[in-house]
Chains A and B, each alone.
Chain A
Amino acid sequence: MTRKPSLPFLRLCQIGLFFFLVLAWYVLTAFELAPSFFFGKPLVVADRLYQWFATGKIYIHLWTTLLETLLSFGIGTIAGLAVGMWLALDPFASALLDPYVKAANSMPRIILAPIFAIWFGLGIWSKVALAVTLVFFVVFFNVYHGVRDVSPVLVSNARMMGASSRQLLRYVYMPSATSWVFSSLHASVGMAFVGAVVGEYLGSARGVGFLILQAEGVFDINTVIAGMVLLTIFALILDTIVTIAERRFLAWRPSQGSQRA
């Protein structure tokens, strides 16, 4: 029997499960069945979150993380789009750079963080640089394969209608490439966010990642958890915005809902 549960019932169970887990956490740590030194206490975590917003102390950090995320998403997407289109349309450049692209992509790019810290200092730009390297490859590969897989019939059709090579770029390759950017939006926004937070965590003066780093230094597990909760909510909001953007811009895609991973 695999009958689908009704949606309101499912929601109720999901909320119930949430409260059960929090309650279990509360009980276990209240009686020190799980040491609160390692696991924190839900009420203290909630209080940290409340204080952050009540005192307004959190806004500068949230803003910093958001700014880094947006900047690296923007820069990484534009660079990935441009280089992806270029290599897709220029077979020689593509063949020439192929091994370098592969090497750069398989390198664990987090290790670039110290270099970027030296180059760009502890401000936002070292985080942006790190996150850009993550975003870039997601967008690049999508655009590259997207443009290469453009149906030759579409190209021939546009040429028969009199399109010059510039117009082919504008009317065929660009729309096709941007559609691939949109279909990789979840991944690229996620990468921008991860890059920003990890960058902050590895050395910074501001941002939610910095708060976590600071709290970790004094073994303040409750603040670490509060930071995690905040980041999770932050990520969920970003993801929702992406989903809305996708609905708006990928309306022409068949069964767009089922393509999401």
Chain B
Amino acid sequence: MNVHAGDRTLRLDNVTCVFDGGYVAVKDASLTVNDGEFICIVGPTGCGKSTLLNVAAGLLEPSRGNVSVFGQELTGMNKRAGYMFQAESLMPWRTALDNVALGLEIRGVPVDKAREQSKFWLEKVGLAAHKHKYPHQLSGGMRKRASLAQMLILNPEIILMDEPFGALDVQTRQLMENELLRLWSEDRKIVLFITHDLEEAIALADRVIVMSAGPAARPIGNFSIDLPRPRDVAEVRLTPEFLKAHSAIWDVMREEVLKSYKQFEGASHDA
């Protein structure tokens, strides 16, 4: 365990993101993630979830507001964070083994040592038998496992995940969610997990944050999820506590989803 004194939170303060062309994606969004907390952000598609995560990662500089990581204001990349992307992010010219080893190589670890550790992590995510395959030879689920290992091998203190399992079928997805919870429970890092799927959010999170529909999206709801851990994401969905949380959050979300739906409708009529 880390024994840093003091602040171990990730904070966004009044973050506003304006894109070229003047579109205000996120406006005055504030958010605090405490040490060891698993947070899910839900919101309608296109509301600005990825934008917010990119700000937390240091990949995108907010137009206004700031980010502080463990008490320090963030400038440039967030070096304490690992990021798992929504889109395919493995290097297609590297095998699973070399993809997972990449982060260590970048940090100057000799290749054979990096590969050694990579093997360990591939085993941990159940890919030991596929280490010499290239991404196109792996299934979608396997690629996500490799991406997970690629991120975790660097032992980030903050884990950022942008709809990581969105493209998977339901069964694979639940397997991956359980896998993620198992790995996370080993050392309980900060997790900021983005999804548009409320059920996934409740099954995984300690806390669910609801974003309003864009433009000028911001968090509008904050729900603690008191389901016991360890959880099985498939079973937990059937408990009365889960259903209660779901209906409470859905009450807030429904309006936002409708709003965003209407915007798309409007846009397609204008076109």
Q: Which residues in A have some Cβ–Cβ distance to B below 8 Å? A: 151, 153-154, 156-163, 167, 171-172, 175-176, 179, 251-254
- In contact, B59 and A160 (Cβ under 8 angstroms): yes
Contacts of A172 in B (CB 8 A): 91
- Of the residues B89, B91, B107, B150, contact of A162 by C-beta under 8 Å: B107
- Interface residues of chain A: helix, strand, loop or mixed (majority): helix
Residue of A nearest to B59 (CB): A156
- In contact, A252 and B134 (Cβ under 8 angstroms): yes
Q: Which of A159, A160, A162, A251 has the most CB of B within 10 A?
A: A160
Query: How far apart are A180's CB and chain B's nearest CB, in angstroms?
Result: 11
- Of the residues A153, A160, A251, contact of B87 by C-beta under 8 Å: A153
Q: Which of B82-112 contact A (CB under 8 A)?
A: 82-83, 85, 87-89, 91-95, 102-103, 105-107
Query: How far apart are B78's CB and chain A's nearest CB, in angstroms?
Result: 8
B77 within 8 A of A: yes
Q: Which of A161, A167, A176 has the most CB of B within 10 A?
A: A161
Query: How far apart are A75's CB and chain B's nearest CB, in angstroms?
Result: 25
B136 within 8 A of A: yes
Docked CA distance A254–B93 (Å): 10
Q: Which residues in B have some Cβ–Cβ distance to A below 8 Å? A: 57, 59, 77, 79, 81-83, 85, 87-89, 91-95, 102-103, 105-107, 134-136, 150, 154
- Of the residues B59, B105, B134, contact of A159 by C-beta under 8 Å: B59
Docked CA distance A179–B130 (Å): 23
**Given A167-B106, A171-B105, A251-B134, is A157 in contact with B93 using a C-beta cutoff of 8 Å?**
no
- In contact, A254 and B83 (Cβ under 8 angstroms): no
Contacts of B95 in A (CB 8 A): 252
Residue of B nearest to A251 (CB): B134
Query: How far apart are A226's CB and chain B's nearest CB, in angstroms?
Result: 44
- Of the residues A151, A163, A179, A253, contact of B106 by C-beta under 8 Å: A163
- In contact, A252 and B106 (Cβ under 8 angstroms): no
Q: Which of A151, A154, A176, A252 has the most CB of B within 10 A?
A: A252
- In contact, B85 and A171 (Cβ under 8 angstroms): no
Residue of B nearest to A175 (CB): B93
Residue of B nearest to A163 (CB): B106
- Of the residues B57, B88, B107, contact of A160 by C-beta under 8 Å: B57
- In contact, A158 and B102 (Cβ under 8 angstroms): yes
- In contact, A252 and B92 (Cβ under 8 angstroms): yes
Docked CA distance A252–B225 (Å): 44
Q: Which of A157, A162, A167 has the most CB of B within 10 A?
A: A157
